[in-house]
Amino acid sequence: MIVDLPDTTTAKISKALVRIREESGAVALGRVLTLIISSTLGQEEEAIAAANDASREHPMRVIVVSTEHVDAVNSSGTPRVDAEIRVGGDAGASEVILLRVYGDAASDPESLVTGLLLPDAPVVAWWPGAAPAVPADSPLGRIAYRRITDASAQPDPQGALQHLRSSYRPGDTDFAWTRLTLWRTQLAAVLDQPPYEPVIAIQVTGAADSPSTTLLAAWLHLQLEVPVNCELTRGTHTNGMHGVNLTRAGGVISLEREQTGVATLIQPGQPVQDLALRRRSLRDCLADELRRLDPDDLYGEVITRGLPLLENVVNSQTGASA
């Protein structure tokens, strides 16, 4: 069910939510958190779809604050909020409140959402597109337990990663890190098998627009304390991570993804294996991040301590534009 509330206020939206619950039996009981999505007008549906899918694992209230582009001009010049409430089959296991905000009404997004938050439930803020300069200091970030950004969605993904390093606060995370879960799990499993020889050299390759490649190199350098050769290439037929080579005295362990969704694992003295290693969807990443509401300390260490150690290596391979 979808209920439209043109030119409305937070108080009217709250009353409409109460009326919907009374008339249709939809309730907020069992909602475990409030997810706030900050988007731009016309670009919110993909994020809403991901939130609806993730809500089947994490029942929640989703509040979408969709505003005009920074350089957009409101033709009427009049501040206005148009709301849309989605429940039932149109909202997965969540209830979605979509706020389309125009003009000066977007100047204080915190006041727009405060009256719509679930009482006594944690708040997570997500910027699927452009993120604020310092997420933790932004109006929505100040009220959130966790703050999710996506460096790969920025015009300069590698530059965005370096900016996230300088603006990091406990509670921040980025989907460039979340997309590495399967890679990190597979590499850890390989190194947990005999022979337990130390790694003496590491090579990580990926697309130039893949911040995940840089984060994986930083993680490996930090965890194994081994020099890392990180190569970011342009014009390749695949995006994201390409592969990892771990050199030990007994040979090279190679995990390469040359085609979408399938990686090849080569280990000395063992048969070649094909592994399912797909690029994680927005739904997968969001559901993963919502499983924990405490700060991701490992991500914090990688982005604040690992990246500075890796910076010269990355620049030497790709130039300043990487």
pLDDT in tens, 286-314: 999 999 899 999 999 999 999 998 864 44
For residue 78, name the pLDDT band (cuts at 50, 70, 90).
Answer: confident
Same domain, 141 and 185: no
- Residue 182: which of 288, 81, 271 has the closest Cα? 288
Same domain, 119 and 24: yes
Mean pLDDT of 101-109: 90
Give the pLDDT of residue 26.
56
Neighbours of 1 (CB within 10 A): 13
| Structural domain boundaries enclosing 243 | 181-282+314-318
Same domain, 127 and 263: no
Give the pLDDT of residue 74.
46
Same domain, 136 and 26: yes
| pTM (two decimals) | 0.90
Give the pLDDT of residue 69.
67
In a domain, 188, yes or no: yes
> Of 149, 168, 203, which marks where a domain is finished?
149
pLDDT in tens, 232-269: 887 655 678 999 999 999 999 999 998 888 999 999 99
Domain count of the fold of the chain: 2
Amino acid at 295: P
In a domain, 156, yes or no: no
Whole-angstrom distance, CA of residue 132 vs CA of residue 135: 5
> Of 149, 173, 204, which marks where a domain is finished?
149
Question: What is the spatial order of strands in the sheet that 123-126 belongs to?
Answer: 2-5, 80-86, 95-102, 60-67, 33-40, 123-126, 146-149, 172-174
In a domain, 293, yes or no: no
Same domain, 108 and 37: yes
pLDDT of 322 > 60? The answer is: no
> Of 131, 149, 167, which marks where a domain is finished?
149
In a domain, 300, yes or no: no
Same domain, 134 and 61: yes
In a domain, 176, yes or no: no
Same domain, 118 and 186: no
- Can you spell out the DSSP letters for 67-115? E--TT---TT---EEEEEEE-GGGSTTSEEEEEEEEGGGGG-HHHHHHT
Amino acid at 178: T
Neighbours of 312 (CB within 10 A): 9
Same domain, 191 and 242: yes
Same domain, 144 and 18: yes
Scan for tokens 């098998």, then name that residue: 193
Same domain, 14 and 129: yes
In a domain, 142, yes or no: yes
In a domain, 117, yes or no: yes
Same domain, 26 and 131: yes
- Residue 200: which of 231, 230, 224, 183 has the closest Cα? 224
In a domain, 295, yes or no: no
Same domain, 212 and 117: no
Instruction: Look up residue 315 and give its two tokens.
Output: 């620049």
